[in-house]
Amino acid sequence: MQKIKDIFPGDILTSWFTSLKSLGEFTGIRFGNVAKSSGEVDWVFIDHTHYDGIGGFAQILRERGGNLPTHELPRISHQSPDSVMPLIKSLPKFFQSPRRLEWKSLDGSQVPYHEFGPPKSLSWHLFSEEETSKIKQLSRSMDVTVNTYLLKHLDRSVRSAIKDPSEGIPWMIPVNLRGKVCNHVDESNHSSCINISLKASHTVKDAHKLLYRELDHGNHWANWYSYKYGGKLPDRIRCNLIKADRAGYCWNIGCFSNLGDWDKEKRLEGSAGEGFWLFAPPVLEGQRLGAGCVTFRGRMSLLLQLHPALSTDPEVAKDFMQNWIENIELDLF
């Protein structure tokens, strides 16, 4: 297992992840290389303090001999302008009292706050090229993105583990700002996020509309500038905000992140082109589920992990993943 990498000078998210680490959180972004022959996974952790998911994956592939120029990294396509105004408009939300949804009691021990480490409850799935193509075609036929299609099925898959399944479940979706924001190092944190709440009655198209409404309102810029200005606060205050679920204007049950489609032409050289890849964002005490998707050389993968405060039993994550895949396959076959 390759350890966390930590080499860059700070960006606007560095101070926040430094505070999280001081609270005992594990801030490693999880990547896994699946060997073609054996199916064994080589896990790699890249520190979110200095990298985001796209940057971390680019760093891994470059280190393995892959030629990935800056202009080939995924860029934001949404046209909302870089502006601090969405933050100003959203300020009242930051003063609302956050409310967590309660999970049912899950199998597996829950770990005390000061003993967090890499999640032990995790599960993954690798689709074939044919299945990947079908998921993309189905999403296009529904006039939705693959992101919203997968997120809605994920929401359905974990809903039964919430004490009140009729509640709206709040999710965090990272937003890649490359193309709008330019840091000195292209692998560093260029990520903001949006937040949407999904109800059991919402369809995939409803989820798509909610997601794009957040982007249209520029709420990814609201979060970006809140991180930027909040990063100047003393560490003690940032830690208190994190523990009180007030680091953002919305508490989230989990994060779903999709790194997109990589090496479609299968031209990466060296060991960068070997095997297939898995990815999942970090999990936190206040955001206990992390699910990630990446498509590499035509094959889409899903990886789900749970925070140790929720469960350390791999079977719990396995059950969630099985439900997720079954929901997707009901549409495909």
Domain regions of the chain by residue span: 14-68+83-97+108-332
Enumerate residue ranges in the chain where pLDDT < 70: 1-10, 109-115
Quick one: which of 43, 60, 38 has its CA closest to 51?
60
Classify burial at 141, counting beta carbons within 10 Å of its beta carbon; exposed 0-12, middle 13-18, buried 19 or more.
exposed
- The token duo for 244 is 């009180």
- The token duo for 30 is 């999880």
Q: What angle do CA 315, 122, 274 make, to 5 degrees?
A: 130
Superfamily in which the 14-68+83-97+108-332 domain is placed by CATH:
Nonribosomal peptide synthetase, condensation domain (3.30.559.30)
Which spans in 7-84 are helix H?
A: 14-22, 53-63
The 3-state DSSP class for residue 34 equals strand
- The token duo for 315 is 């079977």
- Position 71 scores a pLDDT of 83
- Position 174 scores a pLDDT of 97
Q: What is the C-alpha end-to-end distance of the chain, expressed in Å?
A: 37
- Position 98 scores a pLDDT of 79
pLDDT digits (tens, 9 = 90+) for 196-210: 999 999 999 999 999
